[in-house]
Amino acid sequence: MKCGAKRYQVEAEQNGEKQSKSIIARTPAEARKKFRSTFGADAQINTVKEIKRGTY
C-alpha cells in the first residue's frame, strides 16, 4: 500500500452487468485507471466513492 493511499468503491457497468469493486489508490482518478486496466477500457464507470476507515 502506497503512502497516502485510500480505499475506493468503484461501481461500473460492463456488458449490461453492474460491478462493484474495492480498489486501493491515492486519488479517485487513479482508482478509475486501475479499474479500467483490470476490467477493460469499455467499462462504463458510474461512481467512485471513498470508503472511510473502519468501515471495510
The Cα–Cα gap between 2 and 19 comes to 25
Confidence of residue 43 (pLDDT cuts 50, 70, 90): confident
The Cα–Cα gap between 52 and 56 comes to 8
**Which residues, 6 or more positions from 53, have their beta carbon under 8 angstroms from its beta carbon?**
none
Confidence of residue 42 (pLDDT cuts 50, 70, 90): confident
Tell me 39's DSSP state: H
Round the CA-based radius of gyration of the chain to a whole number and report it.
11
Per-residue pLDDT tens digits for 5-39: 999 999 999 888 898 999 999 999 999 999 999 98
Strand order in the sheet with 17-25: 17-25, 6-14, 44-51
Checking if the pLDDT of 56 tops 60, the result is no
What pLDDT is recorded for position 55? Answer: 59
